[in-house]
Structure 1
Amino acid sequence: MTPDVSSDSALVSAWQDAAAALDLTVPSPGELHHGVGGRTVSGPVTRPEGHVAWLRVESAPKPAGRLWEGNRLAEEILPARIPRPRLLAAHTWGTGPVFQALVFSRVDAAPVSSTPDLRGPLTVDSTWWTALRRTLRALHHVKAPQQRRSHTPGYIERIPTYLPEVVEAGVDLTVRTWATAHADLHWANLTHNPLVLMDWEGWGAAPAGYDAAVLHAYALPVPDTAARVRAAFADVLDTEDGRLAELIICAEIIQAAPRDDLHARLAPYARAHARHLLCT
């Protein structure tokens, strides 16, 4: 019988199978975290040599695609100076669906937010912002694998479906500059000191300024932090490329709003911000 990849129980069972196959010890009781969309399950484990690590298991219809390959490629290509969990081991099994188990070095620093959006004031110092800018600059100098892009031309063309105001404003939706980006740089994927960038499955070439635009959009419910993001990344956001990147993430949030509470919360802010961008 083919497992139901949408079932939490199937993924939990796969996570336990992966731990056994990789000779990992599971703490008792195991604390498992379910990813957004029900596609991943992860939790702490101990490796045979006694080191604590993090086991993540994901499912997919077939073993291919940008998200499936992202973490492996990040380990192969990204320089060590970019702070991130390191990939220690991998295990793939199954046919329709397939499962991939990835073992990462454990990150002890706490995430900035328990949710991708900010629900309260941000408490980090100036060195954290400096480290984030330095990290993103280093990432921009990495050459992303060919055809590994955050958005398809078709998606860019559909932006007026979610932001019809761009047509009236005569916005050119041509992405003129692509730059290597994390491409999912929300607040749950960043840690407090030390700064670590989590979850590299979607990285690749993105519209210039996209990382800063995502960070800003997910901070909109907290105006002081949103203003801090704009100040930190004014050199990329206050440009035509940056404005387009902001409109893209606003459209994404609005598109996702009917599917989950997170984006439903953010959608009114995204609509208001998009109108502001189109009036300035």
Structure 2
Amino acid sequence: MTSSTHPPADLTDRWHEAAARLGASAPADVQLRSGLGGRTLGGPVTAAGELPAWLRLMTASRPGGKIWEGAALADAVLGDAVPRPMILGEHTWREERAAFRATLWTRLRGEILSPTPDLSAPADVDDRWWKDMRTCLDEVRGTAVPSGREVMTQAYIGRIPRFIPALEGADLTVPRWEAAHGDLHWANLTRNPLEIIDWEGWGSAPAGYDAAVLLAYALPAQATATKGREVFSDVLDTEHGRLAQLVICAEIIQASERDEVHARLRPYAERLAAEVLALQ
């Protein structure tokens, strides 16, 4: 979000204030994790009834918008077949230069699969995990998306030849849109049991997009990528699934100019795009 105002540089005091307002407690020296370019701060707390929980504080120049509303909307509309932390409570307030939204979640039960979005080694998951993942994504794909809520637009997809020149002149009209998490990489997934986190950006995306993202970020770990292709073959090996793969490849190539994760993924994305184009 672009704005002429700037959120407070240090959210720590406000995070502790939010914990108190939501009836949760945490040590003064609790380790907190920053995200979204310094616009969020999260950390473990103890909620009412001695329940282990997680508190995330988000700030913006004004309330509203896709990211601001995403988690609460996901919590309201996604079914029980989608394993994720559940919201225990929320609190919002405004100050002169910023708005704040604090969300109290149940603590993750499982172990995050990767400290980075991509994999550097095969994911330590079994066939049951993959079966649960398939069931989960089928449930997400069938979820109705509120009007105007998009992971990306058709206009953006029309510009991806800037990053994959071989697509110049191709018809990139999305044949089918469906609900997607929108950021389904390996740092947003757990094992024992499977849970999916960070639903702030969910919305409408090209059909098969989540499966394509999962595949793309697994490419450095060939065994996991191969398994992902197998589990989602009926999604990926279709016209819309191939377009979804080209979209995430373009996004990775675009982002490779900005950060190390995508810079190291770029050669894999370029190879995947070439493989998909060879099938067209």
TM range (shorter): over 0.9
1:179-258 residue pairs with structure 2 within 5 A? 179-258=178-257
Q: Distance in 2 between matches of 1:269 and 1:279?
A: 15
CA deviations on 1:145-167 (whole Å, 9 max, x unpaired) are 11111112221121111111211
After superposition, the Cα gap between the structure-2 partners of 1:264 and 1:13, relative to the gap in structure 1 and judged at 3 Å, is: farther
1:102-117 residue pairs with structure 2 within 5 A? 102-117=103-118
Alignment gaps of 5+ in structure 2: none
Q: Number of aligned pairs?
A: 275
C-alpha contact 2:217 2:265 (8 A) present in aligned 1: yes
Correspondence 1:88 to 2:91: no
User: 1:6: Cα distance to partner?
Assistant: 7.2
C-alpha contact 1:256 1:263 (8 A) present in aligned 2: yes
Correspondence 1:54 to 2:47: no
Q: Where does residue 259 of structure 1 map in the other structure?
A: 258
Alignment gaps of 5+ in structure 1: none
Q: CA RMSD in A?
A: 1.7
Q: Distance in 1 between matches of 2:236 and 2:34?
A: 33
Letter in 2 for 1:136: L
Query: TM-score, normalized by length of structure 2?
Result: 0.93
Give the secondary-structure state (helix, strand or coil) at the position aligned to 2:114.
Answer: coil
Query: TM-score, normalized by length of structure 1?
Result: 0.93
Q: Where does residue 156 of structure 1 map in the other structure?
A: 157
After superposition, the Cα gap between the structure-2 partners of 1:3 and 1:29, relative to the gap in structure 1 and judged at 3 Å, is: farther
Q: Distance in 2 between matches of 1:79 and 1:222?
A: 31
Q: Distance in 1 between matches of 2:11 and 2:29?
A: 17
Q: Distance in 1 between matches of 2:62 and 2:155?
A: 23
Q: Where does residue 31 of structure 1 map in the other structure?
A: 31
Q: Distance in 2 between matches of 1:11 and 1:188?
A: 23
Q: Where does residue 75 of structure 2 map in the other structure?
A: 75
Q: Which moves more between the two structures, 91-100 or 126-135?
A: 91-100
C-alpha contact 1:247 1:274 (8 A) present in aligned 2: yes
CA deviations on 1:113-151 (whole Å, 9 max, x unpaired) are 111111111111101100000111111221111111111
Q: Distance in 1 between matches of 2:139 and 2:228?
A: 18
User: 1:76: Cα distance to partner?
Assistant: 1.3
